[in-house]
A and B are shown apart, each in its own frame.
Chain A
Amino acid sequence: MIKAIASHLPVTTLTNEQLAREFGDWTAEKIFEKTGIRQRHISGPDQCASDLAFEAAKTLLESVGTSSMDFLLFCSQAPDYLLPTTACLLQHRLGLPTTCGSLDYNLGCSGYIYGLALGQSLIHSGLGQNVLLLTADTYTHYLRPEDRSTRTIFGDGASATLLSSAARSRLHSFVFGTDGSGAEQLIVRSGGARGRTPAGRRQAEASAGNSNAVDEACLFMNGPEIFSFTIQAVPALVGAVMKKAGLSLGQVDYFVFHQANAFMLEHLRKRLKIPTGKFEFCLEHCGNTVSSTIPIALESAIHANRIKPGMKVLLAGFGVGLSWGGCILEWND
């Protein structure tokens, strides 16, 4: 099902040394110890998620030598406009045929898994042969400069994945979950329709406890609550995927989770008793790129031969929503 993956990171980087100079009481090494991240890529002030997605898609389309797509799926929480659909802009910009169906969907850290499921379903139901799945986010544009718990973690990035009926790799044993009661724990209040109403604006101000308009446009993350959610949801998700696939932990060859931060990943790895050699860490150079962490990690692991043909790989995405999803990828190039 997965034919090829490409990614794109913006050129500008933000290093731990730069952050340490800003925050004073933290050293670069302390930031690395706490997050597992040494640098993040930051999109320029005029660069949108669609610009990053365009670059990733261009690289992918050049490598596979075709732009004959039946569908374009764009996963992002930073659309160019409220309307029209950013995927429509990307269809035109990428020179995809006008017979290509295009749609956006709004998910964060679980978005890649959902995209794989949607794309595979379109192909399995006979609605198309080739689906271009793009993920891109520019969370760094949403961060409060003084919020070190998010500035140290998030980076910008994009990925492009070609799903094709002709590909030899398989995807199966999908499991999904949602708990909207945790919506407030990771949120950007303004920019959508709710934030544009007077009532929505008042409510946002009251619950944020802050009437500063700049803060409403910024990302709020309740780190401890997100962590609590993750350690509840992810072990259950991993168990459910393995049960559906009929696999024991030992029969899964490799694990690629959403690269939230190294502390969270290491906690999950230990709790699930996954050996270090079977567990992907891919965030030191780019941080948490939200919907693109899993494809960036997959691309890196496949390229470096940590994922080899024939391997069964468990993918798990989880975060903002709250939303989660997992599946098995049987990799073959």
Chain B
Amino acid sequence: MTETNFIKELADVLAEDPSAMNSETVLESLAGWDSMGKVATISFLDSSFGVRLPPGTIQKCRQVRDVVALVKEQLEA
């Protein structure tokens, strides 16, 4: 999966418009980045990438790029 596709899928997980989201997007500005949205993101990272986050990780994400960084090694260049 490329970074662009990852961001598209993340937008889908958060029920956000993919065209309005890029790596610079501030997560707190998204209505979908609520408690349920964070849970859906954690589920997505585990299901699609086998990434299980250490405690506190998701709360530290400020921008979309911080979420991308969690799976960076598994994305195509």
Q: Which residues of A are interface residues toward B (Cβ below 8 A)?
A: 34, 149, 181-182, 223-225, 227-229, 231-232, 263-264, 267, 270-271
State which residues 31-49 of B face A: CB under 8 Å.
34-36, 38-40, 42-43, 46-47
| Bound-complex Cα distance A227 to B40 (A) | 9
Smallest CB–CB gap between B30 and chain A, Å? 14
Smallest CB–CB gap between A29 and chain B, Å? 14
Smallest CB–CB gap between B71 and chain A, Å? 15
Q: B59 an interface residue at 8 Å Cβ cutoff?
A: yes
Q: B52 an interface residue at 8 Å Cβ cutoff?
A: yes
What secondary structure prevails in chain A residues at the interface with B? helix
* Contact (Cβ within 8 A) A224 B47: no
Smallest CB–CB gap between B35 and chain A, Å? 4
Residues of A within 8 A of B56 (CB): 225
Residues of A within 8 A of B53 (CB): 228
Residue total for B at the interface (Cβ-Cβ under 8 A): 17
With A224-B42, A228-B58, A267-B43 given, name 12 new contacts (CB 8 A).
A149-B34, A149-B35, A223-B39, A224-B58, A227-B43, A228-B42, A228-B53, A231-B46, A263-B39, A263-B40, A271-B46, A271-B47
| Bound-complex Cα distance A194 to B42 (A) | 33
Residues of A within 8 A of B40 (CB): 263
- Of B36, B46, B55, B57, which one neighbours A223 at CB under 8 angstroms? B36
**Most chain-B Cβ atoms within 10 A of its Cβ — which of A181, A224, A263?**
A224
- CB-CB nearest in chain B for A231: B46
With A267-B46, A270-B47 as contacts: A229 and B36 at CB distance below 8 Å: no
| Bound-complex Cα distance A232 to B39 (A) | 14
| Bound-complex Cα distance A229 to B53 (A) | 9
